[in-house]
Chains A and B, each alone.
Chain A
Amino acid sequence: MEQFTALLVPGLLALAALLGLAKGVDVYSALAEGALDGLKVLLRIFPALVGLLTAVYMLRASGLLEAAGAALEPVLHLLGIPQEVIALLLVRPVSGSAALGVGAELIERYGPDSLIGRTAAVMLGSTETTFYTVAVYFGAAGIRRSRYAIPAALCADLTGFVVAAWAVRMMSF
Chain B
Amino acid sequence: MAMSVIWTGLVLCSVLCGAAAGQLAAVSAGALEGAQAAVELCVGMAGALCLWSGVMEVLRRCGALEGLRRLLTPALGRLFPAAARDEETMDLLAANVSANLLGLGNAATPLGVRAAERMARGSNGRASDDLCRFVVCNTASIQLIPTTVAAVRSAAGCETPFDILPAVWLTSALALTAGLLACRVLARLWGD
A binds B: yes
Q: Which of B4-18 contact A (CB under 8 A)?
A: 6-7, 10-11, 13-18
Q: In this assembly, does A140 line the interface, its C-beta being within 8 Å of a C-beta of chain B?
A: yes
Q: Are A61 and B182 in contact (CB under 8 A)?
A: no
Given contacts A30-B58, A133-B138, A143-B120, contact A53 B37 (CB under 8 A): yes
Q: With a CB–CB cut-off of 8 A, which chain A residues contact B57?
A: 30-31, 33-34, 37
A70 at the binding interface (Cβ < 8 Å):
no
With CB as the reference atom, state the residue of chain B lying closest to A145: B126
B109 CB → nearest A CB, Å: 7
Question: Taking A126-B141, A157-B175 as contacts, is the C-beta distance between A55 and B21 under 8 angstroms?
Answer: no
B149 interface neighbour in A101, A124, A153, Cβ under 8 Å: A124
Residues 36-65 of chain A: 1 if any B CB is under 8 Å from the residue's CB, otherwise 0? 111101100110011111111111111110
**Cross-chain contact of A147 among B56, B127, B158, B177 (Cβ < 8 A):** B127
Indicate if the CB atoms of B14 and A125 lie closer than 8 Å: no
Q: Which of B41-49, B71-79, B80-88 contacts A (4 or more CB under 8 A)?
A: B41-49
Query: A1 touching B166 by the CB < 8 A rule?
Result: yes
Q: Which residue of A lies closest to B123 (CB)?
A: A143
Task: Identify which of A51, A146, A152 contacts B183 (C-beta below 8 A).
Answer: A152
Q: In the complex, which residue of chain A has the Cβ closest to the Cβ of B179? A: A156
What is the bound-complex CA distance between A33 and B59, given in angstroms?
12
Chain A residue nearest to B190 in the complex (CB) = A148
Bitwise, B109-123 to A at CB < 8 A (1) or not (0) is 100110011011001
Most buried by B among A23, A49, A60, A61: A61
User: Are A159 and B50 in touch, CB under 8 angstroms?
Assistant: no
Q: How far is the CA of A129 from the CA of B105 in the complex (A)?
A: 12
Whether A140 contacts B117 by the Cβ 8 Å rule is: yes
- B-side contacts of A58, CB under 8 Å: 10-11, 14-15, 18, 27, 30-31, 34
Residue of A nearest to B26 (CB): A61
Task: Kindly state whether residue A82 has any CB partner on chain B within 8 Å.
Answer: no
* Nearest CB in chain A: distance from B146 CB, A: 3
| Residue contact A63 to B17, C-beta cutoff 8 Å | yes
Q: Complex Cα distance A39/B161, Å?
A: 20
Report the Cα distance A67→B171, complex, angstroms: 28
Chain A neighbourhood of B23, CB < 8 A: 61-63
Contact A134 B135 (CB under 8 A): yes
Closest Cβ–Cβ distance, residue B108 to chain A (whole Å): 10
With a 10 A CB-CB cut-off, give which of A42, A156, A160 has the most chain B CB atoms.
A156
Give the docked Cα–Cα distance between A51 and B35 (Å). Answer: 7
New contact pairs (19) apart from A41-B53, A148-B187, CB-CB < 8 Å: A34-B55, A34-B58, A49-B42, A52-B38, A53-B34, A54-B31, A61-B26, A67-B17, A125-B164, A125-B172, A126-B146, A133-B138, A141-B117, A143-B127, A145-B127, A148-B132, A152-B136, A153-B179, A163-B174
The residues of A with any CB-CB pair to B shorter than 8 Å are: 1-2, 5-6, 8-9, 12-13, 16-17, 19-20, 23, 25, 27, 30-39, 41-42, 45-46, 49-64, 67, 91, 94-95, 98, 100-101, 103-105, 107-108, 111-113, 117-118, 121-131, 133-134, 136-138, 140-149, 151-153, 155-160, 163-164, 167-168, 171-172
